[in-house]
Amino acid sequence: MMTPEEYEESLRKLDLVVYMFGKRLENVVDNPILRPSMKAVAKTYELANLPEYEDIMTTRSHITGKKINRFTHIHQNIEDLVKKSKMGRLLGRATGCCFQRCVGMDTLNALSIVTYDIDKKHGTEYSKRFLKYLEYVQENDFTCDGAMTDPKGDRSLPPHKQPDPDQYVHVVEEKENGIVVRGAKAHQTGAVNSHEIIVMPTIAMREEDKDYAVSFALPSDAEGIIYIIGRQSCDTRKLEGDTIDTGNLLYGGHEALVVFDDVFVPWERVFMYKEYDFASSLVEKFASYHRQSYACKVGVGDVLIGASQTAAEYNGVEKASHIKDKIVEMNHLNETLYCGCIACASEGHKEPSGTYSVNTLLANVHKQNVTRFPYELSRLAQDIAGGLMVTMPNNQDFKSPETGKWLEKYYKTKPGVPTENRMRILRLIENLTLGTAAVGYLTESMHGAGSPQAQRIMISRTVNLEEKKRAAKKLCGIEE
């Protein structure tokens, strides 16, 4: 397993093509906007090396028996699934943001199931290929980006009918030693912090779309891959130099559009090729795992609750009954989310491949709540924080001799609370509810791993309505 320092060093060796603010970045790792995002991923390496988190953060590889970071593990039992949820909460609390590494873990697990199932039906050898690739990932303790979401173009048309055929990633050439792919993947969280990028289809497909039914892995700096970084609310505060105005001083996240400009993939890294009949299965397996992964938001919720309680104490109102009640409500909602990610794990099952899968229905129910509760938690946090959160001046005003004295004087509350600490905690709440972290805590909670309606469709499909109707009819005496 890598140390966080080794991880950072390994990233420096990559030759990524990354654009931001219209220019190519020469140094991705030290870029002030991106660096907190790298540090958040590094946390997954740091905690794995600490004895107190060993049980949650590490396990033994089922292929080599070696100790590995859980983020590269294939779940072997219910306990693994439950620990995954706990790892998510732990890291969410430790970073206060998206730590980006779960998407690769979810992709590996989904592929472990589906490559096996394809082989069973089609007599292919994807599973063997995949396990070899998995060993490589585990040995190197890599961070992988699992890339699913295509741009989709005209949403009323399937891939093969799009005016621009590249709106979904597809094979444009088959060579002896591999394939050439073209297209793009949007909203790629943590893309430039990854060593590997693993591509999957994004929707169910029919035969006409078979060139789009493709899954493969690439080194993140493979020739032809271009990253264009998305901007976030308040992103440029990180460029303002030494400031408390970023709120979270340590960690962050990022998303990128990843363009595949005719990239070559050798056969040994291809895990699905034209088996369109398994596209939906791969999407659903990945989606279920990834909906479970929103366990992380419980950890971010912990931070927001802790910040709100601290703000209340600094304001001297923590004993007001309405404040106490709002803190209880925040905890109640946050723990209700926790119940979801624990239950979908606890109710998991073994797939034919041997991999353990979460309960699809409950994973969708969990994620559906994630599209709601963080917004209410944010509202309550803003209620508790008070209006100063959005009206207090810039950090430079605090440092300026002309204005600092006034701010120090008039933002003072009760004795023993340094005004600066009050500012710090309010900036953190701003960060989580309006700033860079709100991107992850709110909007990504809404759309990541599928928008709310996607979960509702899955709930509708997986729930057993007939059983419920039978139960009802029996009680009121309806015989049909």
Q: Total number of residues binding its own copies (CB under 8 A)?
A: 153
Element (H, E) at 172: strand 170-174
Cα distance between residue 368 and residue 366, in whole Å: 5
Count of all residues that appear for the chain in the document: 480
Q: Is 27 in the site for its own copies (CB under 8 A)?
A: no
Choose between 47 and 345: whose C-beta lies nearer to its own copies. 345
Ranges within 186-205 binding its own copies (CB under 8 A): 186-187
Ranges within 433-452 binding its own copies (CB under 8 A): 434-435, 438-439, 442-444, 446-448, 451-452
- Least separation in angstroms between residue 413's CB and its own copies is 6
- Least separation in angstroms between residue 201's CB and its own copies is 16
Q: Which of 296, 355, 356, 433 is catalytic?
A: 296
Burial class, 241, CB count within 10 angstroms (exposed 0-12 / middle 13-18 / buried 19+): exposed
339 is catalytic: no
- Least separation in angstroms between residue 225's CB and its own copies is 12
Give CA separation, 44 vs 53, 57, 101, 150, in Å. 11, 8, 8, 27
Q: Which of 189, 202, 371, 436 is catalytic?
A: 189
Q: Which one among 70, 73, 269, 427 touches its own copies, defined by CB under 8 A?
A: 427
98 is catalytic: yes
Ranges within 328-367 binding its own copies (CB under 8 A): 328, 331-332, 335-336, 338-340, 342-347, 361-362, 365-366
- Least separation in angstroms between residue 474's CB and its own copies is 8
Choose between 65 and 475: whose C-beta lies nearer to its own copies. 475
**Alpha-helical segments (H) within 123-169:** 126-140
Q: Which one among 26, 65, 155, 177 touches its own copies, defined by CB under 8 A?
A: 155
Chain-centroid distance of CA 468 in Å reads 35
Q: Is 294 helix (H, G, I), strand (E, B) or coil?
A: helix
Q: Is 472 in the site for its own copies (CB under 8 A)?
A: yes
444 is catalytic: yes
Q: Are 326 and 383 in contact (CB under 8 A)?
A: yes
Pairing, β 214-219 against β 270-273: antiparallel
Ranges within 104-143 binding its own copies (CB under 8 A): none
Q: Which of 53, 58, 95, 102 is catalytic?
A: 102
Choose between 274 and 456: whose C-beta lies nearer to its own copies. 456
Which residues fall within 8 angstroms of residue 238, CB to CB, at 6 or more apart?
32, 33, 36, 246, 252, 436
Give CA separation, 230 vs 21, 188, 449, in Å. 9, 9, 18
189 is catalytic: yes
